[in-house]
Structure 1
Amino acid sequence: MLLDFPLSVVAALLIAFFVSYCSIAWLIQWKTSVVLDYPNSRSLHTRPVPRIGGIGLLAGVILAWLAVSAQLPVPVWLGIGILAGISIVDDIRNVPVGYRLCVHFLVALGCCFSLMLDLHEWPLVVGITLAVLWMCNLFNFMDGSDGLAGGMILFGFGFYGLMAFLSGDIGFAVTNLSVAAASLGFLLHNFHPARIFLGDVGAIPSGFLAAVMGLIGWMNGLWSLWVPLLIFSPFIVDTTVTLTKRLLRGEKIWQAHREHYYQRMVQSGLGHKNTALLGYGLMLLAGASAVWMNGQAANIQLAVVLIWGTIYLGLILMADLSKKPYAGER
Structure 2
Amino acid sequence: MTLAPLIAVPLAAALSAGLIVLLKPLLQRYALARPNARSSHTMPTPQGGGIAIVGAALVAAALLTSLFGIRLVGTEGAALAFAVLVLAGVGAVDDIRPLPASLRLVVQTGAVAAVVATAQGRLLPEGWAWLELPAALMAGLWFVNLVNFMDGLDWMSVAEFVPLTAFLAGLGLVGGYAAEPALVAGALLGGLLGFAPFNRPVARLFMGDVGSLPVGLIVAWLLFRLASQGGLAAALILPLYPVADATLTLLWRMRRGEKVWQAHRSHFYQVATVNGFSVMGVVARVFALQFALAGLALITLLWPFWPVTLLCLALAAGLVGWLLRRFATPRP
Q: Normalising by the residue count of structure 2, what TM-score does the alignment of the two structures yield?
A: 0.89
Task: State how far apart, in whole Å, the 1-side matches of 2:8 and 2:90 are.
Answer: 27
- Determine if the alignment matches structure 1 residue 191 to structure 2 residue 209: no
- Indicate which of 230, 243, 251 corresponds to 1:244: 251
- Do the aligned residues in 2 keep the contact of 1:49 with 1:195 (CA within 8 Å)? yes
| Pair 168,245 (structure 1): closer, same or farther in 2 beyond 3 Å | closer
Partner of 2:110: 106
Q: CA deviation at 1:172?
A: 3.4
User: How far has the Cα of 1:35 moved from its partner?
Assistant: 0.4
Q: What are the Cα deviations for residues 58-81 of structure 1, in whole angstroms up to 9, with x where unaligned? A: 121011011112534222112111
The answer on 1:78 being equivalent to 2:82 is yes
Identify which of 300, 303, 306 aligns with 2:311. 303
Q: 2:147 matched to 1:151?
A: no
Following superposition, the deviation at residue 308 of structure 1 comes to 2.0
Task: Please state if 1:35 is matched with 2:39.
Answer: no
Partner of residue 172 from structure 2, selected from 164, 173, 176 = 164
Counterpart check, 1:141 vs 2:149 = yes
- Provide the residue aligned with 1:25 in structure 2: 21
Matched, 1:291 2:298: yes
2:283 is equivalent to residue 276 of structure 1: yes
Q: 1:15-39, CA deviations, whole angstroms, 9 ceiling, x for partnerless residues?
A: 2010101111223333544301100
| Residues 1:213 and 2:222 aligned together | yes
CA contact (8 A) 2:237 2:293 kept: yes
1:186 Cα deviation from its structure 2 partner: 0.6
Code of the residue aligned with 1:138 in structure 2: it is: L
CA RMSD for the aligned pairs?
2.1
**1:20 counterpart letter in structure 2:** S
Q: 2:92 aligns with which of 73, 88, 91?
A: 88
CA shift, 1:300, in A, is 2.0
Change (3 A) 1:212 1:168: closer
Cα distance in 2, alignment partners of residues 41 and 298 from structure 1 = 47
SS of structure 1 residue aligned to 2:298: helix
Shift of 1:301: 1.2
Provide the rounded CA distance (Å) in 1 between the counterparts of 2:219 and 2:326.
29
Residue 328 of structure 1 corresponds to which residue in structure 2? Answer: none
Q: TM-score, normalised by structure 1?
A: 0.89
The gaps in structure 1 that reach 5 residues or longer are: 326-330
Give how far 1:265 is off.
1.5
- Paired amino acid for 1:180: L
Distance (whole Å) between structure 1 residues aligned to residue 120 and residue 19 of structure 2: 36
Q: Is the 8 A contact 1:12 1:67 kept in 2?
A: no
* Aligned length, in residue pairs: 318
From 59, 78, 82, the equivalent of 1:63 is 59
Name the stretch that deviates more: 183-192 or 21-30: 21-30
**Which residue number in structure 1 is paired with residue 9 of structure 2?**
13
CA contact (8 A) 2:120 2:225 kept: no
Which ranges in structure 2 are unaligned for 5 or more consecutive residues? none
Change (3 A) 1:10 1:163: closer
Partner of 1:266: 273
